[in-house]
Amino acid sequence: MIDLQKAGAGLGGYALLAAQLESLLADERDFIANAAQFSAFLYSQVEDLNWAGFYLNRNEELVLGPFQGQIACVRIAFGRGVCGTAASTRQTQRVEDVHAFPGHIACDSASNSEVVIPLVKKGRLIGVLDLDSPKLARFTEQDQVGLERLAEIFLRLTDC
């Protein structure tokens, strides 16, 4: 597991993760296979996570996709909670304290901070990448930039 905050001031650690992810996904294009691998990769390589995975756009509603962690909410309306807000705005949501986020959905009461990255390919919202942590303020701006880069690699190497 890489301590990203000690590995080259954050972004250096993400450069290593990016190279590893490129290699991991290089020979597969299937969405479900790559999403499952990416979820497991993040969950095993990024410290202080209790959930890492996908919610997929199904007719303007988010539906649970491949993930690692505790059981999760199955359906989330666009505009509801952190994931639904990221989907409706198509902007990354980085929340230091999810309990202070208006309309937060508590799928796992142990989660205290969250980052959700919308996955957009060719102008179409595929879904969102969601990472939760039991640690307050776990995700920094450097984490956001690094994770957005990893999401770009996933989208480029995956058919969706």
pLDDT, residue 10, reads 56
With contact defined as beta carbons under 8 Å apart, do 62 and 55 qualify? yes
What rounded mean pLDDT belongs to the chain? 93
Sign (positive or negative) of CA dihedral 151, 159, 33, 107: positive
The region that residue 4 occupies, defined by phi over 0 for left and psi between -120 and 50 for alpha, beta otherwise, is alpha
Which secondary-structure segment (H or E) carries 45?
helix 31-45
pLDDT, residue 6, reads 42
Rounded to two decimals, what is the model's pTM?
0.92
Kindly report, residue by residue over 4-62, the tens digit of the pLDDT: 544 444 567 999 999 999 999 999 999 999 999 999 999 999 999 999 999 999 999 99
pLDDT, residue 9, reads 40
Architecture of domain 36-138: 2-Layer Sandwich (3.30)
pLDDT, residue 8, reads 40
3-state secondary structure 134-150: CCCCCCCHHHHHHHHHH
